[in-house]
């Protein structure tokens, strides 16, 4: 049986605040295997493409600015039921609504600067993983 994959980014605020280690520890302790990982910085064009689905939203400019202001950790994660379980682990988009113990509850500052990304479907996980990694970088 195929094991599911999801895609994540530890966003610029997580890197700036020195939270990479703590967040990765939480992810691996929750049973996710790291399939691909790197420190990288998105260009404005990259972020506009990655978040194209939100380009009509009032916060789009702010989102692109935030996501390009410094490096991120991009990673592909593997686990049974990866997409849904990872969304549960990170918590609600707005940390004020996120459950206790979730990554966003622990590390996010606001609905905009919310520490981590998690894919919302298997289809988007594959698209987003391929956006950041070549086949040779996936294990
Ligand atoms: P998600 O990351 O929980 O899937 P989405 O609705 O897909 O949330 O939004 C993508 C990202 O856009 C969020 O993670 C957050 O960084 C940003 N964002 C979402 N809603 C707002 C908002 O109301 N104000 C500012 N930024 C927002
Ligand atoms: Mg989303």
Per-residue pLDDT tens for 47-91? 999 999 999 999 999 999 999 999 999 999 999 999 999 999 999
Instruction: Over range 19-46, report the average pLDDT.
Output: 98
> What count of Cα atoms within 13 Å lies in the side-chain half-sphere of residue 128?
26
Confidence of residue 3 (pLDDT cuts 50, 70, 90): confident
Cα–Cα distance, 58 to 21 (Å, whole number): 33
* pTM recorded for the entire structure: 0.97
Q: Report how far ligand 1's centroid is from the alpha carbon of 118 (Å).
A: 11
Q: Annotated catalytic, 19?
A: no
What the chain holds in terms of domains, given with CATH numbers, is 5-41+72-137 (3.30.70.141)
Q: Looking at the CA of 116, which ligand is closest?
A: 1
Q: Report how far ligand 1's centroid is from the alpha carbon of 92 (Å).
A: 10
As a whole number, the mean pLDDT across the chain is 97
Residue of 55, 93, 98, 99 to test ligand 1 pocket, by largest number of atoms within 8 Å of CB = 93
To 10 degrees, what angle do helices 20-29 and 82-90 make? 130
Three-state DSSP state, 126 = helix
106: DSSP letter: H
To 10 degrees, what angle do helices 122-132 and 82-90 make? 80
């Amino acid at each position: 049986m195929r094991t599911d994959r999801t895609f994540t980014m530890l966003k610029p605020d997580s890197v700036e605040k020195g939270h990479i280690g703590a967040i990765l520890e939480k992810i691996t302790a929750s049973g996710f295997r790291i399939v691909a990982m790197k420190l990288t910085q998105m260009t404005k064009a990259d972020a506009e493409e990655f978040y194209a689905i939100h380009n009509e939203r009032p916060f789009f400019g702010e989102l692109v600015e935030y996501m390009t202001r410094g490096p991120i950790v991009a990673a592909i994660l593997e686990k049974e039921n990866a997409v849904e379980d990872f969304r549960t682990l990170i918590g609600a988009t707005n940390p004020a609504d996120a459950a206790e113990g979730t990554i966003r509850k622990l590390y996010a500052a606001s609905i905009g600067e919310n520490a981590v990304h998690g894919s919302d479907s298997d289809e988007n996980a594959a698209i987003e993983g391929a956006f950041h990694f070549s086949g040779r970088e996936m294990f």
